[in-house]
Amino acid sequence: MSTMGTPGARGRFGEFGGRFVPEALMPACLELEGAFAEAWADPAFVAEFHDTLRLFGGRPTPVTPLARLSERLGLRVYAKREDLAHTGSHKINNVVGQTLLTRRMGKRRVIAETGAGQHGVATATAAARLGLECTVFMGEVDTKRQELNVFRMELLGARVVPVASGSRTLKDAVNEALREWVTCVADTHYCIGSVMGPHPFPWMVREFQRVIGDEARAQLEDLGVGVPEVVVACVGGGSNAAGVFAGFVDTPARLVGVEAAGGSAIGHGSPGVLHGMRSMLLQDEYGQIEEAQSISAGLDYPGIGPEHAHLAATGRAQYVAVGDDEVLGGLTLLSETEGIIPALETAHAVAWVARAAGRELAPGTTVLINLSGRGDKDVAQVREMLRGDA
Protein backbone atom coordinates (compact mmCIF):
# COMPACT_ATOMS: atom_id res chain seq x y z
CA MET A 1 0.00 0.00 0.00
CA SER A 2 1.30 3.46 -0.81
CA THR A 3 1.29 5.81 2.18
CA MET A 4 -2.32 6.80 2.86
CA GLY A 5 -3.46 4.67 -0.07
CA THR A 6 -6.09 1.96 -0.12
CA PRO A 7 -5.60 -0.63 2.62
CA GLY A 8 -5.87 -4.26 1.52
CA ALA A 9 -8.81 -6.55 2.16
CA ARG A 10 -7.84 -6.92 5.81
CA GLY A 11 -7.88 -3.17 6.29
CA ARG A 12 -4.34 -3.02 7.61
CA PHE A 13 -2.09 -0.01 7.97
CA GLY A 14 1.15 -1.81 8.68
CA GLU A 15 0.49 -3.79 11.86
CA PHE A 16 -2.51 -1.61 12.77
CA GLY A 17 -6.16 -1.57 11.75
CA GLY A 18 -8.03 -4.76 10.95
CA ARG A 19 -11.47 -5.81 12.10
CA PHE A 20 -12.08 -6.87 15.69
CA VAL A 21 -15.85 -7.07 15.99
CA PRO A 22 -18.39 -9.70 17.00
CA GLU A 23 -19.52 -12.03 14.25
CA ALA A 24 -22.96 -10.38 14.39
CA LEU A 25 -21.38 -7.20 12.97
CA MET A 26 -19.01 -8.76 10.47
CA PRO A 27 -21.52 -9.10 7.64
CA ALA A 28 -22.33 -5.39 8.02
CA CYS A 29 -18.64 -4.44 7.96
CA LEU A 30 -18.14 -6.51 4.80
CA GLU A 31 -21.25 -5.02 3.22
CA LEU A 32 -20.06 -1.52 4.06
CA GLU A 33 -16.60 -2.17 2.66
CA GLY A 34 -18.11 -3.30 -0.62
CA ALA A 35 -20.65 -0.49 -0.72
CA PHE A 36 -18.07 2.20 -0.02
CA ALA A 37 -15.53 0.85 -2.51
CA GLU A 38 -18.21 0.72 -5.17
CA ALA A 39 -19.65 4.16 -4.38
CA TRP A 40 -16.25 5.84 -4.19
CA ALA A 41 -15.43 4.48 -7.65
CA ASP A 42 -18.75 5.74 -9.01
CA PRO A 43 -18.39 9.27 -10.46
CA ALA A 44 -22.08 9.94 -9.80
CA PHE A 45 -21.68 9.28 -6.07
CA VAL A 46 -18.48 11.30 -5.83
CA ALA A 47 -20.18 14.18 -7.67
CA GLU A 48 -23.17 14.02 -5.33
CA PHE A 49 -20.80 14.07 -2.35
CA HIS A 50 -18.93 17.14 -3.57
CA ASP A 51 -22.12 18.89 -4.69
CA THR A 52 -23.63 18.38 -1.27
CA LEU A 53 -20.54 19.75 0.44
CA ARG A 54 -20.67 22.78 -1.87
CA LEU A 55 -24.40 23.51 -1.81
CA PHE A 56 -25.10 22.50 1.78
CA GLY A 57 -21.80 22.11 3.61
CA GLY A 58 -20.23 25.49 2.88
CA ARG A 59 -17.27 24.17 0.88
CA PRO A 60 -14.76 25.02 -0.22
CA THR A 61 -13.58 26.50 3.05
CA PRO A 62 -10.87 29.14 2.55
CA VAL A 63 -7.22 29.08 3.47
CA THR A 64 -6.58 32.24 5.45
CA PRO A 65 -3.11 33.77 5.83
CA LEU A 66 -2.72 34.58 9.54
CA ALA A 67 -0.71 37.79 9.29
CA ARG A 68 -0.70 38.99 12.90
CA LEU A 69 -0.16 35.54 14.34
CA SER A 70 2.68 35.04 11.85
CA GLU A 71 4.30 38.25 12.94
CA ARG A 72 3.89 37.36 16.60
CA LEU A 73 5.44 33.91 16.16
CA GLY A 74 8.01 34.73 13.49
CA LEU A 75 6.51 32.10 11.18
CA ARG A 76 4.39 32.14 8.03
CA VAL A 77 1.15 30.64 9.24
CA TYR A 78 -1.90 29.73 7.17
CA ALA A 79 -5.16 28.26 8.40
CA LYS A 80 -7.47 25.85 6.63
CA ARG A 81 -10.83 27.12 7.80
CA GLU A 82 -12.90 24.04 8.67
CA ASP A 83 -14.44 26.23 11.38
CA LEU A 84 -16.38 27.87 8.54
CA ALA A 85 -17.94 24.64 7.32
CA HIS A 86 -21.59 23.98 8.13
CA THR A 87 -22.09 23.03 11.80
CA GLY A 88 -18.75 24.61 12.60
CA SER A 89 -16.25 21.85 12.07
CA HIS A 90 -14.75 19.37 9.64
CA LYS A 91 -17.15 16.72 10.94
CA ILE A 92 -19.67 17.67 8.23
CA ASN A 93 -17.46 16.20 5.48
CA ASN A 94 -17.57 12.74 6.98
CA VAL A 95 -21.27 12.71 7.81
CA VAL A 96 -22.33 13.95 4.40
CA GLY A 97 -20.40 11.05 2.90
CA GLN A 98 -21.69 8.46 5.35
CA THR A 99 -25.34 9.53 5.20
CA LEU A 100 -25.31 9.51 1.40
CA LEU A 101 -23.85 6.04 1.61
CA THR A 102 -26.50 5.03 4.16
CA ARG A 103 -29.22 5.98 1.74
CA ARG A 104 -27.44 4.23 -1.12
CA MET A 105 -27.29 1.04 0.97
CA GLY A 106 -31.05 1.29 1.53
CA LYS A 107 -30.79 1.84 5.28
CA ARG A 108 -33.19 4.24 6.98
CA ARG A 109 -31.44 5.09 10.21
CA VAL A 110 -28.07 6.20 11.53
CA ILE A 111 -26.56 5.94 14.99
CA ALA A 112 -23.47 7.83 16.12
CA GLU A 113 -21.27 8.42 19.14
CA THR A 114 -20.17 11.87 20.10
CA GLY A 115 -17.70 13.44 22.50
CA ALA A 116 -17.86 17.23 22.27
CA GLY A 117 -21.17 16.90 20.48
CA GLN A 118 -19.73 18.16 17.20
CA HIS A 119 -19.99 14.83 15.44
CA GLY A 120 -23.42 14.26 16.96
CA VAL A 121 -24.65 17.62 15.72
CA ALA A 122 -23.13 17.02 12.30
CA THR A 123 -24.72 13.57 12.07
CA ALA A 124 -28.11 14.88 13.17
CA THR A 125 -27.76 17.65 10.57
CA ALA A 126 -26.89 15.36 7.69
CA ALA A 127 -29.56 12.86 8.76
CA ALA A 128 -32.23 15.56 8.87
CA ARG A 129 -31.31 16.64 5.38
CA LEU A 130 -31.83 13.13 4.00
CA GLY A 131 -34.78 12.24 6.21
CA LEU A 132 -32.88 9.53 8.08
CA GLU A 133 -33.74 8.66 11.66
CA CYS A 134 -30.86 9.51 14.02
CA THR A 135 -29.82 8.37 17.49
CA VAL A 136 -26.69 9.75 19.15
CA PHE A 137 -24.87 8.16 22.10
CA MET A 138 -23.08 10.62 24.34
CA GLY A 139 -21.30 10.04 27.63
CA GLU A 140 -23.18 11.46 30.60
CA VAL A 141 -20.18 13.58 31.56
CA ASP A 142 -20.21 15.10 28.08
CA THR A 143 -23.96 15.73 27.97
CA LYS A 144 -23.34 17.99 30.97
CA ARG A 145 -20.18 19.61 29.57
CA GLN A 146 -21.88 20.25 26.22
CA GLU A 147 -25.51 20.81 27.16
CA LEU A 148 -26.22 23.16 24.27
CA ASN A 149 -25.05 20.62 21.72
CA VAL A 150 -27.50 18.10 23.20
CA PHE A 151 -30.28 20.57 22.61
CA ARG A 152 -29.00 21.28 19.10
CA MET A 153 -29.19 17.60 18.23
CA GLU A 154 -32.72 17.43 19.59
CA LEU A 155 -33.73 20.49 17.55
CA LEU A 156 -32.44 18.62 14.52
CA GLY A 157 -34.78 15.76 15.31
CA ALA A 158 -32.23 13.36 16.78
CA ARG A 159 -32.60 11.33 19.94
CA VAL A 160 -29.68 11.71 22.36
CA VAL A 161 -28.96 8.77 24.65
CA PRO A 162 -26.78 9.62 27.68
CA VAL A 163 -24.30 6.81 28.36
CA ALA A 164 -23.82 6.03 32.04
CA SER A 165 -21.43 3.08 31.68
CA GLY A 166 -17.67 3.12 32.26
CA SER A 167 -16.01 6.53 32.23
CA ARG A 168 -19.19 8.09 30.77
CA THR A 169 -17.22 9.85 28.01
CA LEU A 170 -16.44 9.26 24.34
CA LYS A 171 -14.92 5.80 24.78
CA ASP A 172 -18.10 4.52 26.40
CA ALA A 173 -20.30 6.26 23.86
CA VAL A 174 -18.49 4.22 21.19
CA ASN A 175 -19.05 1.00 23.19
CA GLU A 176 -22.73 1.76 23.52
CA ALA A 177 -23.12 2.64 19.84
CA LEU A 178 -21.46 -0.66 18.90
CA ARG A 179 -23.78 -2.56 21.27
CA GLU A 180 -26.78 -0.82 19.78
CA TRP A 181 -25.56 -1.51 16.25
CA VAL A 182 -25.61 -5.26 16.94
CA THR A 183 -29.36 -5.03 17.52
CA CYS A 184 -30.31 -3.01 14.45
CA VAL A 185 -27.64 -3.56 11.86
CA ALA A 186 -30.13 -4.66 9.19
CA ASP A 187 -31.62 -1.19 8.73
CA THR A 188 -29.14 1.06 10.55
CA HIS A 189 -25.72 2.42 9.65
CA TYR A 190 -23.20 3.26 12.35
CA CYS A 191 -21.97 6.71 11.34
CA ILE A 192 -18.67 6.63 13.22
CA GLY A 193 -17.14 10.02 13.93
CA SER A 194 -13.47 9.59 13.26
CA VAL A 195 -10.84 7.50 11.49
CA MET A 196 -11.28 4.66 13.95
CA GLY A 197 -13.19 1.44 14.41
CA PRO A 198 -13.08 -1.69 12.28
CA HIS A 199 -12.17 -1.69 8.59
CA PRO A 200 -13.48 -0.03 6.42
CA PHE A 201 -14.24 2.89 8.76
CA PRO A 202 -10.71 4.33 9.18
CA TRP A 203 -10.17 4.24 5.43
CA MET A 204 -13.63 5.49 4.50
CA VAL A 205 -13.63 8.39 6.96
CA ARG A 206 -10.15 9.45 5.81
CA GLU A 207 -11.36 9.42 2.22
CA PHE A 208 -14.38 11.56 3.08
CA GLN A 209 -12.10 13.96 4.98
CA ARG A 210 -9.34 14.17 2.39
CA VAL A 211 -11.26 17.00 0.76
CA ILE A 212 -9.62 19.18 3.44
CA GLY A 213 -6.10 18.38 2.33
CA ASP A 214 -6.86 18.29 -1.39
CA GLU A 215 -8.50 21.71 -1.26
CA ALA A 216 -5.78 23.22 0.92
CA ARG A 217 -3.02 21.97 -1.39
CA ALA A 218 -4.62 23.70 -4.39
CA GLN A 219 -5.44 26.84 -2.39
CA LEU A 220 -1.87 27.22 -1.15
CA GLU A 221 -0.70 26.83 -4.76
CA ASP A 222 -3.10 29.61 -5.78
CA LEU A 223 -1.81 31.82 -2.98
CA GLY A 224 1.70 31.29 -4.33
CA VAL A 225 2.79 29.54 -1.15
CA GLY A 226 3.18 26.12 -2.69
CA VAL A 227 3.71 23.18 -0.37
CA PRO A 228 4.00 24.29 3.27
CA GLU A 229 6.95 23.04 5.26
CA VAL A 230 4.75 21.88 8.12
CA VAL A 231 1.12 20.73 8.32
CA VAL A 232 -0.36 20.69 11.81
CA ALA A 233 -3.67 19.30 13.10
CA CYS A 234 -5.11 18.29 16.44
CA VAL A 235 -5.80 14.59 16.96
CA GLY A 236 -8.59 12.91 18.89
CA GLY A 237 -9.44 9.90 16.77
CA GLY A 238 -7.60 11.72 14.04
CA SER A 239 -10.08 12.50 11.27
CA ASN A 240 -9.29 16.15 10.65
CA ALA A 241 -5.58 15.31 10.79
CA ALA A 242 -5.99 12.38 8.40
CA GLY A 243 -7.99 14.56 6.03
CA VAL A 244 -5.41 17.31 5.86
CA PHE A 245 -2.41 14.93 5.90
CA ALA A 246 -3.86 13.03 2.93
CA GLY A 247 -3.38 16.11 0.75
CA PHE A 248 0.30 16.46 1.64
CA VAL A 249 1.55 12.97 2.41
CA ASP A 250 3.22 12.74 -1.01
CA THR A 251 5.07 16.04 -0.52
CA PRO A 252 8.11 16.83 1.63
CA ALA A 253 5.84 18.59 4.18
CA ARG A 254 6.43 17.61 7.77
CA LEU A 255 3.14 16.28 9.23
CA VAL A 256 2.44 16.97 12.91
CA GLY A 257 -0.50 15.62 14.90
CA VAL A 258 -1.18 17.28 18.25
CA GLU A 259 -2.74 15.11 20.94
CA ALA A 260 -4.08 16.21 24.30
CA ALA A 261 -1.42 15.41 26.91
CA GLY A 262 -4.02 13.46 28.90
CA GLY A 263 -5.12 11.47 25.87
CA SER A 264 -1.85 10.88 24.12
CA ALA A 265 -2.19 7.43 22.59
CA ILE A 266 1.03 7.73 20.60
CA GLY A 267 3.02 9.43 23.36
CA HIS A 268 1.95 7.26 26.29
CA GLY A 269 0.12 4.34 24.72
CA SER A 270 1.00 0.88 23.53
CA PRO A 271 -0.46 -1.39 20.83
CA GLY A 272 -3.77 -3.02 21.61
CA VAL A 273 -7.28 -3.80 20.40
CA LEU A 274 -10.27 -1.56 21.13
CA HIS A 275 -13.43 -0.55 19.29
CA GLY A 276 -12.82 -2.96 16.45
CA MET A 277 -9.27 -1.89 15.62
CA ARG A 278 -5.71 -2.63 16.53
CA SER A 279 -4.01 0.66 17.30
CA MET A 280 -2.10 2.57 19.94
CA LEU A 281 -4.07 2.78 23.19
CA LEU A 282 -3.80 4.11 26.70
CA GLN A 283 -3.96 0.96 28.82
CA ASP A 284 -2.62 -0.48 32.02
CA GLU A 285 -0.20 -3.37 32.37
CA TYR A 286 -3.06 -5.88 32.07
CA GLY A 287 -4.56 -4.46 28.89
CA GLN A 288 -7.42 -2.64 30.62
CA ILE A 289 -8.20 0.60 28.84
CA GLU A 290 -7.41 3.76 30.76
CA GLU A 291 -9.47 6.89 30.74
CA ALA A 292 -8.21 9.87 28.83
CA GLN A 293 -8.25 13.25 30.58
CA SER A 294 -8.64 16.43 28.59
CA ILE A 295 -10.48 19.71 28.91
CA SER A 296 -11.68 19.19 25.37
CA ALA A 297 -14.35 16.51 25.16
CA GLY A 298 -13.43 15.84 21.52
CA LEU A 299 -9.89 14.73 22.40
CA ASP A 300 -10.91 12.71 25.46
CA TYR A 301 -10.21 9.40 23.76
CA PRO A 302 -7.72 6.74 24.87
CA GLY A 303 -6.98 5.58 21.34
CA ILE A 304 -6.12 6.96 17.93
CA GLY A 305 -7.00 5.93 14.41
CA PRO A 306 -4.88 2.98 13.21
CA GLU A 307 -3.49 4.84 10.21
CA HIS A 308 -2.00 7.43 12.58
CA ALA A 309 -0.43 4.64 14.62
CA HIS A 310 1.15 3.46 11.39
CA LEU A 311 2.26 6.95 10.29
CA ALA A 312 3.88 7.34 13.70
CA ALA A 313 5.56 3.93 13.51
CA THR A 314 7.03 4.68 10.08
CA GLY A 315 7.99 8.20 11.09
CA ARG A 316 6.06 9.80 8.23
CA ALA A 317 4.10 11.86 10.74
CA GLN A 318 5.13 13.09 14.15
CA TYR A 319 2.82 13.24 17.16
CA VAL A 320 3.23 15.71 19.96
CA ALA A 321 1.14 16.55 23.01
CA VAL A 322 -0.13 19.76 24.53
CA GLY A 323 -1.35 20.11 28.11
CA ASP A 324 -4.65 21.61 29.23
CA ASP A 325 -2.78 24.65 30.59
CA GLU A 326 -1.32 25.55 27.20
CA VAL A 327 -4.59 25.11 25.32
CA LEU A 328 -6.27 28.16 26.75
CA GLY A 329 -3.28 30.23 25.66
CA GLY A 330 -3.61 28.89 22.13
CA LEU A 331 -7.30 29.75 22.10
CA THR A 332 -6.88 33.32 23.31
CA LEU A 333 -3.86 33.88 21.06
CA LEU A 334 -5.76 33.03 17.89
CA SER A 335 -8.82 34.93 19.07
CA GLU A 336 -6.90 38.12 19.83
CA THR A 337 -4.53 38.11 16.90
CA GLU A 338 -6.79 36.86 14.15
CA GLY A 339 -10.41 37.26 15.20
CA ILE A 340 -10.99 33.53 15.10
CA ILE A 341 -12.15 31.71 18.24
CA PRO A 342 -11.12 28.09 17.74
CA ALA A 343 -12.62 25.03 19.37
CA LEU A 344 -10.67 23.75 22.38
CA GLU A 345 -9.66 20.74 20.27
CA THR A 346 -8.31 22.99 17.54
CA ALA A 347 -6.58 25.20 20.09
CA HIS A 348 -4.21 22.28 20.77
CA ALA A 349 -2.78 22.67 17.26
CA VAL A 350 -2.44 26.42 17.69
CA ALA A 351 -0.81 25.98 21.09
CA TRP A 352 1.78 23.59 19.72
CA VAL A 353 2.71 25.96 16.91
CA ALA A 354 3.07 28.78 19.44
CA ARG A 355 5.27 26.59 21.64
CA ALA A 356 7.39 25.32 18.76
CA ALA A 357 7.90 28.71 17.11
CA GLY A 358 11.56 29.62 17.21
CA ARG A 359 12.45 26.15 18.53
CA GLU A 360 11.39 23.13 16.43
CA LEU A 361 9.99 25.59 13.91
CA ALA A 362 12.76 27.85 12.62
CA PRO A 363 11.89 31.49 12.00
CA GLY A 364 10.13 31.96 8.69
CA THR A 365 8.85 28.37 8.47
CA THR A 366 5.66 27.99 6.44
CA VAL A 367 3.00 26.29 8.54
CA LEU A 368 -0.51 25.18 7.65
CA ILE A 369 -2.76 24.70 10.68
CA ASN A 370 -5.96 22.81 10.13
CA LEU A 371 -8.54 24.87 12.03
CA SER A 372 -10.81 21.91 12.63
CA GLY A 373 -13.63 23.79 14.35
CA ARG A 374 -14.94 27.00 15.81
CA GLY A 375 -15.08 27.69 19.51
CA ASP A 376 -18.69 28.73 20.01
CA LYS A 377 -19.53 25.46 21.72
CA ASP A 378 -16.73 26.00 24.23
CA VAL A 379 -17.26 29.64 25.11
CA ALA A 380 -19.11 28.98 28.39
CA GLN A 381 -16.44 26.48 29.49
CA VAL A 382 -13.63 28.85 28.53
CA ARG A 383 -15.26 31.65 30.51
CA GLU A 384 -15.31 29.40 33.58
CA MET A 385 -11.68 28.49 33.06
CA LEU A 386 -10.55 32.09 32.58
CA ARG A 387 -12.47 33.15 35.68
CA GLY A 388 -10.88 30.32 37.59
CA ASP A 389 -7.48 31.61 36.49
CA ALA A 390 -8.18 35.15 37.64
Partner 1 sequence: MTSLDDRLAAVRDGGRHALVPYLMAGARPDWVRLFEAAVAGGADAIEVGLPFSDPMMDGPVVQEAALAALAAGTTLDSVCATLGSLDLGVPLIAMTYCNVIYHVGLERAAGRLREAGVLGAILPDLALEELDEWAAVCDAGDLATVLMVAPSTPVERVARLTARSRGFVYAAARMAVTGTASGLGDGVAVVERVREVSSVPVYMGIGIATPEQARDAARVADGVIVGSALVRRVLDGQSAEDLESAVRALREALDEM
Q: What are phi and psi of 325, to 5 degrees?
A: -65, -35
Residue from 18, 60, 197, 236 touching ligand PLP (CB under 6 A): that is 236
347 in Cβ contact with 375 (< 8 Å)? yes
User: How far apart (Å, rounded) are the C-alpha atoms in residues 142 and 162?
Assistant: 9
Site track 290-309 with ligand PLP (rule: CB under 6 A), x = hit? --------xx----------
Tell me whether residue 198 or residue 236 sits nearer to ligand PLP (CB atom).
Answer: 236
User: How far apart (Å, rounded) are the C-alpha atoms in residues 237 and 301?
Assistant: 7
Tell me whether residue 35 or residue 170 sits nearer to ligand PLP (CB atom).
Answer: 170
Q: Is the dihedral of CA 380, 128, 238, 179 positive or negative?
A: positive
194 in Cβ contact with 231 (< 8 Å)? no
Residue 287 interacts, among ligand PLP, partner 1, none and using kind-specific CB cut-offs from 5 to 8 Å, with partner 1
List the one residue out of 89, 114, 170, 169 whose CA is nearest residue 347.
Answer: 89
Burial of 331 (C-beta count, 10 Å sphere; 0-12/13-18/19+)? buried
Stretch that binds ligand PLP, among 28-36, 154-162, 230-238, 245-253 (CB under 6 A): 230-238
Asked whether position 343 contacts ligand PLP by CB under 6 A, the answer is yes
Residue 70 interacts, among partner 1, ligand PLP, none and using kind-specific CB cut-offs from 5 to 8 Å, with none
Strands 133-139 vs 109-114: parallel, antiparallel or unpaired:
parallel
Stretch that binds ligand PLP, among 19-27, 141-149, 325-333, 338-346 (CB under 6 A): 338-346
Asked whether position 239 contacts ligand PLP by CB under 6 A, the answer is yes
- Looking at 82, 113, 215, 326, which residue is catalytic? 113
- Looking at 91, 107, 171, 377, which residue is catalytic? 91
Asked whether position 159 contacts partner 1 by CB under 8 A, the answer is no
Residue 2 interacts, among ligand PLP, partner 1, none and using kind-specific CB cut-offs from 5 to 8 Å, with none
Asked whether position 44 contacts partner 1 by CB under 8 A, the answer is no
Asked whether position 272 contacts partner 1 by CB under 8 A, the answer is yes
Site track 171-210 with ligand PLP (rule: CB under 6 A), x = hit? -----------------------x----------------
List the one residue out of 387, 352, 389, 390 whose CA is nearest residue 369.
Answer: 352
SS3 helix, strand, coil % of the chain, rounded to 5? 50, 20, 30
Residue 185 interacts, among ligand PLP, partner 1, none and using kind-specific CB cut-offs from 5 to 8 Å, with partner 1
Annotation marks residue 91 as catalytic: yes
Annotation marks residue 372 as catalytic: yes
Residues 6+ apart with CB under 8 A from 247: 210, 212, 213, 214, 215, 216, 217
95 in Cβ contact with 122 (< 8 Å)? yes
Q: Which residues bind ligand PLP (CB under 6 A)?
A: 89, 115-116, 118-119, 194, 234-241, 298-299, 343, 345-346, 372-373
For the annotated catalytic residues, the residue numbers are 91, 113, 372
